Structure 1
Amino acid sequence: MGTDASDHTTASRATDRPGDASPFALGLLLRRAHWRAAAVMAEALRPLGVELRHFAVLMVLVDRGATVQRDLAAETGTDKAGIMRVVDDLERRGLAVRKAVPGDRRARAVEITDQGIELFDAAHVAAAPLAERLISDLSPGEPEKLRDLLTRFAYPADGES
């Protein structure tokens, strides 16, 4: 006999609701948490005239210095065409510049400008009170615990993805 949809209980179906124990629940909750955090951070960046995709590139540039576009794409989870558009936007705004890579005529490294550093720093100031909203429902010590758990989850010790 075949099974139909009515044979399954809703308890075994993945949701992102509190208490779901399905194998997909953690990923779905992380997705919802990302959406919420991204919306708050986008709100902080809006008055500065940049989007999260721009800020993600600036973060890589601050962390690593001049970086070739293909590495920026990999680090930010952006495709080749998307990273070109983001870097074009940053260049137009004077926040980053492309420079030739010695020994590779085709590659271009992207470097943050002084104006980009200023915007990066201003974004952190603007984001601080909004970031407090994200953790307002947590008890003392929980924000640090959450950050620690997410860090270990995102960067496993054994290098596994």
Structure 2
Amino acid sequence: MSDDVPHHSTAARATDRPGDASPFALGLLLRRVHWRVATVMSEALRPLGIELRHFAVLIELVNYGPTVQRDLAAATGTDKAGIMRIVDDLESKGLAVRKAVPGDRRVRAVEITPRGLELFDSAHEAAEPLAERLVAELGRGEPEQLTDLLTRLAHPADDEA
């Protein structure tokens, strides 16, 4: 082995294994948890005929009411073409409708339908046992603690001002 090749220990390389001290460790662990949770929550949504991308838009519509597609795209991290496909899907399933925005003929707001609200509620019922399965390895009070910590990471105090 040449002396001009730097020697690094593998322990300093980013992983998502327990005990990783890498500055990337938290992000990698959160990514792994996201994949696991997304897979489990997709199980709850599949029988209802929607995917997580559809449910993300329904969440925004329930939380904020009629919303223009541009704002739905920003809120869900979806590009313009992607949000159009998602809203088209929701509309074709009768879960949402596009409506004209008074004063701007070019813009349409998306609104959840009564059928969309029913599906939204059904999704929560279907997800309950799966959500319990996700935190089954945690001890008493830890699911709430985890939720609190993740909420603080996702919504830093700086963002609220």
Provide the TM-score with structure 1 as the length reference: 0.95
Q: 2:144 matched to which residue of 1?
A: 144
Query: Hey, what's the Cα distance between the residues in 2 that align with 1:2 and 1:25?
Result: 30
How far did 1:109 drift? 0.3
Unaligned runs of 5+ in 1: none
Q: Does 1:4 pair with 2:31?
A: no
Instruction: Give, as a single letter, the amino acid of the residue that structure 2 aligns with 1:93.
Output: K
Query: Hey, what's the Cα distance between the residues in 2 that align with 1:125 and 1:50?
Result: 15
Q: 2:105 matched to which residue of 1?
A: 105
Instruction: Give, as a single letter, the amino acid of the residue that structure 2 aligns with 1:45.
Output: L
Query: Hey, what's the Cα distance between the residues in 1 that align with 2:12 and 2:31?
Result: 19
SS of residue paired to 1:108: strand
Aligned-residue Cα RMSD (Å) equals: 1.4
Query: What is the number of residues matched between the two proteins?
Result: 159
Q: Does 1:156 pair with 2:156?
A: yes
Unaligned runs of 5+ in 2: none
Q: 2:118 matched to which residue of 1?
A: 118
Give the ranges of 4+ consecutive aligned residues of structure 1 lying more than 4 Å apart after TM superposition. none
Query: Hey, what's the Cα distance between the residues in 2 that align with 1:71 and 1:159?
Result: 17
Q: Structure 1 stretch 117-126 or stretch 96-105: which is displaced more?
A: 96-105
Query: Hey, what's the Cα distance between the residues in 1 that align with 2:3 and 2:77?
Result: 41
Query: Hey, what's the Cα distance between the residues in 2 that align with 1:96 and 1:13?
Result: 46
The 5 Å alignment of 1:75-90 reads 75-90=75-90
Instruction: Give, as a single letter, the amino acid of the residue that structure 2 aligns with 1:123.
Output: A
Equivalent pairs: percent with the same residue?
75
Query: Hey, what's the Cα distance between the residues in 2 that align with 1:109 and 1:3?
Result: 61
Q: 1:51 matched to which residue of 2?
A: 51
Query: Hey, what's the Cα distance between the residues in 1 that align with 2:80 and 2:37?
Result: 25
SS of residue paired to 1:137: coil
Over residues 109-137 of structure 1, what are the superposed CA-to-partner deviations in whole Å (9 max), with x where a residue is unaligned? 00000000000000000000000010000
Query: Hey, what's the Cα distance between the residues in 2 that align with 1:54 and 1:118?
Result: 14
Over residues 3-56 of structure 1, what are the superposed CA-to-partner deviations in whole Å (9 max), with x where a residue is unaligned? 536x11101100011110100000000000000000000000000000000000
